[in-house]
Amino acid sequence: MTQEASYEEIEKAKLNQETSQMNWLELQRYFAAGSLLWVDASLDLIDVGFQMSQDNKAMFSQWLEQKLVTPVSDDQAAQWFDEKADVWTVVVKPWILVQRSSESLN
Protein backbone atom coordinates (compact mmCIF):
# COMPACT_ATOMS: atom_id res chain seq x y z
CA MET A 1 0.00 0.00 0.00
CA THR A 2 1.30 3.41 -0.87
CA GLN A 3 1.59 6.23 1.63
CA GLU A 4 -0.57 8.41 -0.57
CA ALA A 5 -4.23 8.08 0.35
CA SER A 6 -6.73 7.44 -2.41
CA TYR A 7 -9.40 9.95 -3.35
CA GLU A 8 -12.04 7.67 -1.83
CA GLU A 9 -10.13 7.39 1.46
CA ILE A 10 -9.73 11.16 1.67
CA GLU A 11 -13.39 11.83 0.93
CA LYS A 12 -14.54 9.20 3.43
CA ALA A 13 -12.24 10.69 6.07
CA LYS A 14 -13.83 14.10 5.46
CA LEU A 15 -17.31 12.62 5.80
CA ASN A 16 -16.27 10.81 8.97
CA GLN A 17 -15.14 14.10 10.50
CA GLU A 18 -18.49 15.66 9.57
CA THR A 19 -20.50 12.83 11.13
CA SER A 20 -22.15 13.61 14.43
CA GLN A 21 -24.62 12.18 16.86
CA MET A 22 -27.77 14.28 17.28
CA ASN A 23 -30.96 13.98 19.23
CA TRP A 24 -33.99 13.41 17.06
CA LEU A 25 -35.67 16.49 18.53
CA GLU A 26 -33.00 18.64 16.85
CA LEU A 27 -33.79 17.12 13.45
CA GLN A 28 -37.56 17.55 13.35
CA ARG A 29 -37.52 20.60 11.08
CA TYR A 30 -35.40 18.71 8.55
CA PHE A 31 -37.84 15.81 8.73
CA ALA A 32 -40.71 18.23 8.09
CA ALA A 33 -38.81 19.55 5.05
CA GLY A 34 -38.34 16.01 3.70
CA SER A 35 -34.54 16.23 3.89
CA LEU A 36 -33.81 13.10 5.93
CA LEU A 37 -32.91 9.67 4.60
CA TRP A 38 -32.74 6.67 6.93
CA VAL A 39 -29.83 4.28 6.41
CA ASP A 40 -30.20 0.64 7.49
CA ALA A 41 -27.76 -0.66 10.10
CA SER A 42 -26.43 -3.21 7.61
CA LEU A 43 -24.85 -0.33 5.65
CA ASP A 44 -21.89 1.82 6.61
CA LEU A 45 -23.19 5.38 7.01
CA ILE A 46 -19.93 6.87 5.72
CA ASP A 47 -19.95 4.63 2.63
CA VAL A 48 -23.54 5.60 1.88
CA GLY A 49 -22.59 9.26 2.19
CA PHE A 50 -19.61 8.76 -0.09
CA GLN A 51 -21.68 6.96 -2.74
CA MET A 52 -24.26 9.75 -2.58
CA SER A 53 -21.57 12.42 -2.94
CA GLN A 54 -20.32 10.59 -6.04
CA ASP A 55 -23.86 10.45 -7.48
CA ASN A 56 -23.70 6.65 -7.71
CA LYS A 57 -27.24 6.21 -9.03
CA ALA A 58 -26.89 2.47 -9.62
CA MET A 59 -25.90 1.79 -6.02
CA PHE A 60 -28.60 4.08 -4.64
CA SER A 61 -31.25 2.50 -6.85
CA GLN A 62 -30.28 -0.89 -5.45
CA TRP A 63 -30.40 0.37 -1.84
CA LEU A 64 -33.75 2.08 -2.42
CA GLU A 65 -35.20 -1.02 -4.06
CA GLN A 66 -34.03 -3.15 -1.11
CA LYS A 67 -35.35 -0.50 1.33
CA LEU A 68 -31.90 -0.12 2.88
CA VAL A 69 -32.07 3.64 2.32
CA THR A 70 -35.47 5.31 2.55
CA PRO A 71 -37.00 8.62 3.52
CA VAL A 72 -37.60 8.66 7.27
CA SER A 73 -41.18 7.46 7.73
CA ASP A 74 -43.81 9.13 9.89
CA ASP A 75 -43.81 6.04 12.13
CA GLN A 76 -40.02 6.18 12.58
CA ALA A 77 -40.18 9.90 13.33
CA ALA A 78 -42.93 9.42 15.92
CA GLN A 79 -41.07 6.55 17.60
CA TRP A 80 -37.79 8.47 17.70
CA PHE A 81 -39.63 11.51 19.06
CA ASP A 82 -41.23 9.44 21.84
CA GLU A 83 -37.89 7.82 22.69
CA LYS A 84 -35.94 11.08 22.39
CA ALA A 85 -33.63 8.95 20.29
CA ASP A 86 -30.08 9.81 19.29
CA VAL A 87 -29.12 9.22 15.67
CA TRP A 88 -25.89 9.43 13.71
CA THR A 89 -26.01 12.05 10.99
CA VAL A 90 -23.94 13.04 8.01
CA VAL A 91 -24.87 15.82 5.59
CA VAL A 92 -24.57 15.27 1.86
CA LYS A 93 -26.44 18.26 0.51
CA PRO A 94 -29.33 18.52 0.08
CA TRP A 95 -29.83 15.43 2.24
CA ILE A 96 -29.09 14.47 5.82
CA LEU A 97 -28.44 10.75 6.22
CA VAL A 98 -29.51 9.32 9.57
CA GLN A 99 -28.83 6.01 11.27
CA ARG A 100 -30.09 5.07 14.71
CA SER A 101 -27.32 5.37 17.32
CA SER A 102 -27.97 1.89 18.68
CA GLU A 103 -27.21 0.65 15.17
CA SER A 104 -23.51 0.42 14.44
CA LEU A 105 -21.59 2.47 11.91
CA ASN A 106 -19.88 -0.77 10.84
Q: Which residues pair with 69 in a beta bridge?
A: 39
Over residues 37-73, the pLDDT tens digits come to: 999 999 999 999 999 999 999 999 999 999 999 999 9
Reduce the DSSP state of residue 20 to 3 states and report it: strand
With H, G, I as helix, E, B as strand and everything else as coil, classify residue 65: helix
**Angstrom distance (rounded) from CA 9 to CA 60:** 20
Give the Cα separation of 83 and 29 in Å (integer). 17
Read off the pTM.
Answer: 0.88
Type and span of the H or E element at 27? none
